[in-house]
Structure 1
Amino acid sequence: MWFRSKTDVSSTALQTDSNLHQQVFHSLREVAPESWNRLIGDAFPFAEYDYLLALEEGHCVGIEPGWEPRYLTLWEGKQLQAACYLYRKTNSNGEYIFDWDWANAYQRYGQRYFPKLTSAVPFTPATGPKLLVSADASNPREFQQQLLASALELVQQEGCSSLHFLFIPAEECEIYEAAGLLLRHSFQFHWQNQGYDSFEDFLSRLRSKRRKEILRERRQVQEQGLEVILLRGEEVEPKLCRVMYDFYLTTIDRKWAMPYLSYEFFQYIFTHFRDQLVLALARKQGRWVAGTINYHKGPHLFGRYWGCRQDFRSLHFELCYYRLIEYAIEQGVQRFEAGAQGAHKIQRGFLPNLTYSAHWIAHPAFHRAIGEFIEEEKRSIQSNIEDNPELSPYRQEN
């Protein structure tokens, strides 16, 4: 059934003796939405057709940003059975699994690290599947193995130094390790629903000091005359698109960061992806003053962008964490990922969770050196997580 691809990176099909063939597309417009979304499960919104296409329509990906799409697809007849979203990268911007030191080492030794091939949702540090397979595929593992083998061949065809899969789910790790990729650990702070009946029930599981701090911070928001509103799906009016984009830019300006996302991207999301949106907004005297953009699909909630027009005490914590924890409990959400970094999340109920990435390095010497670095990094991360149980905000019995 399986074959070794010899395609270039154009959108042309390579037929085999069987009914299976492969295509690599430079734009998701060349794939029917219903075909692509057949491969997406019920827990990860960012691999959906409209989200990935929004990045294209908003010119957030392409040659200039350094994210050139390469959608690797496997077909049985006219039926799309498996796919992997890949990008030919000429920088490491917007990845959140940092490899700048690797690139610098290549440069010091007169080697070229870029371009590289990366499977990740651009500018989105969220865990989700990269090897997408239809639920009715006869042998999902074989399709995943073929996707990975074809991606490795695409590395050579594209003249890339390496192949990277970022923020992969734990259940995919075995596939990458079996193929000889290096498995790297990092960590984020996630909130897990322990079967809470209400926000008050959640608070009751916390240590007294942490519980009092959260209650104080929520009171501070009320005392400043702020009205907190949560909107989802059809409640999200199109006119809020400009409001949220302006909030996004305020955070970019304050952090001297790069505005990866365009207003056109926001327009597309607010038009075509509203059913996944959850906005947490604050209003004072009839004027929107702060807000967050979040995405909800199935058992998972993802916090993405925050911004405010002026500073208010504890408002960031209310809109980014507390109101959304309330929402997660109400909706039966099992996991809430509130974005990358931020040890301050711990005292607000978020605990460190391992995240995973897989890396194939073509250069043998760099493969060994990076492999040694990754193993040492793993030990350090695990030690930090295990050696500080007293940092948990939860009562010992929880």
Structure 2
Amino acid sequence: MRVHIEQRFVDLPAEIQQALSVPDQNPFFNAAFLRALEETACVSPSQGWQPTHLWIESADQAVFYLPLYKKSHSWGEFVFDQSWANAYHRHGLPYYPKWVSAIPFTPSLGPRWWVKPGTDAALAWQCAADYIKAALAGGMASSWHLLFAQGEDLPLQDDEALVRRDTQFHWLNQGYQGFDDFLGQMKSRKRKSMRRERAKVAEQGVSLVRKLGTELSESDWIEFYACYCNTYHERG
């Protein structure tokens, strides 16, 4: 097995791009999404995200892919490790650049690597791990971070890797046919409180409109972008 590094998603083998273009798969670990991030310069060296996509070749075929970015800061990850960076700095050690395998700006659980069916996944991961460890030892980055990965068999859970666990709160529809079904799971006091809150919103003339992406107008996108930017202006 041989490791390759590409600095543009479009330079990855066609087989990888096709595998990440299957309809109805994860919308973020997706060729169109990852490519768009680079084409719009949302992900670029000037933004502190240097694409360093890792893929593995075996028998003249692409068998493994790991999104990899060389980061000069910690923004856009939604994993707040600035305290680690400060600790490195206090001890005279560089924390940046670091390597991150993640979906930029997307704190959503999901797949974070691709293995071609029929490939020995453990062997492919060992090959990738050996490359990453050697690169870190050579000073190419301070550390490697795998963010918001989903799956039971996470790689590198050994003495040289630490597993950091966090909590996310997800709302799941438990077969509710309507809002009253949802309220029916609550105690009377909470039902009344929620109905009062919703009534106040309705009295102010606020309404909810649901649109598909193809239905959005130019003004909708401008408003959405303004709201998105405001989050960063207020919270960093």
TM range (shorter): 0.7 to 0.9
Q: 1:233 to 1:65 in 2, by over 3 A?
A: closer
Question: Aligned residue for 2:210?
Answer: 230
> Which ranges in structure 1 are unaligned for 5 or more consecutive residues?
1-19, 258-398
Q: Which runs of 5+ in 2 are unaligned?
A: none
CA distance in 2, matches of 1:139, 1:39: 19
TM-score normalised by structure 2 residue count? 0.85
Partners of 1:223 and 1:78 lie apart in 2 by 65
The structure carrying a bigger strand percent of its residues is 1
2:3–2:127 CA contact under 8 A, matched in 1: no
Question: What secondary structure does 2:141 align onto?
Answer: coil
Structure 1 position 196 matched with structure 2 position 176: yes
CA shift for structure 1 position 22: 2.8
- Percent identity of equivalent pairs: 34
2:36 paired with 1:57: no
Structure 2 partner of 1:212 = 192
Aligned to 1:126: 108
Deviations along 1:300-337, whole A, 9 cap, x unmatched?
xxxxxxxxxxxxxxxxxxxxxxxxxxxxxxxxxxxxxx
Give distance in 2, aligned partners of 1:43 and 1:179: 33
1:161 aligned counterpart, secondary structure? coil
CA deviations 1:199-246 (Å, max 9, x no partner) are 322222233333333322322232222332101143234553223112
**Residues 197, 33 of structure 1: CA spacing in aligned structure 2 closer, same or farther, 3 A cutoff?**
farther
Q: Which residue of 1 aligns with 2:123?
A: 142
Q: In structure 2, how many angstroms separate the alpha carbons of the residues matched to 1:213 and 1:32?
A: 55
Q: What is the count of residue pairs matched by the alignment?
A: 235
> Alignment partner of 1:242: what SS?
helix
Q: TM-score, normalised by structure 1?
A: 0.53
CA distance in 1 between counterparts of 2:191 and 2:123 reads 49
Aligned match of 2:3: 22
Question: Over residues 88-138 of structure 1, what are the superposed CA-to-partner deviations in whole Å (9 max), with x where a residue is unaligned?
Answer: 11111222222212211221122222111111122221112222223x234
Is the 1:72–1:151 Cα contact (8 Å) retained in structure 2?
no
Query: Structure 1 residues 170, 32: closer, same or farther in 2, change over 3 A?
Result: closer
The Cα shift of 1:181 comes to 0.9
Higher relative contact order (CA 8 A, sep 6+): 1
Q: SS of 1:183's equivalent? A: coil
Query: Residue in 1 aligned with 2:144?
Result: 163
Cα contact 1:37–1:48 (8 A) shared by 2: no
The separation in 1 between residues aligned to 2:128 and 2:165, in whole angstroms, is 23
Alpha-carbon contact 1:89-1:118 (below 8 Å) kept: yes
Structure 1 residues 49 and 108: alpha-carbon distance in aligned structure 2, compared to 1, 3 A threshold: same
More displaced, 139-148 or 104-113? 139-148
Distance 1:39 1:54, change over 3 A: closer
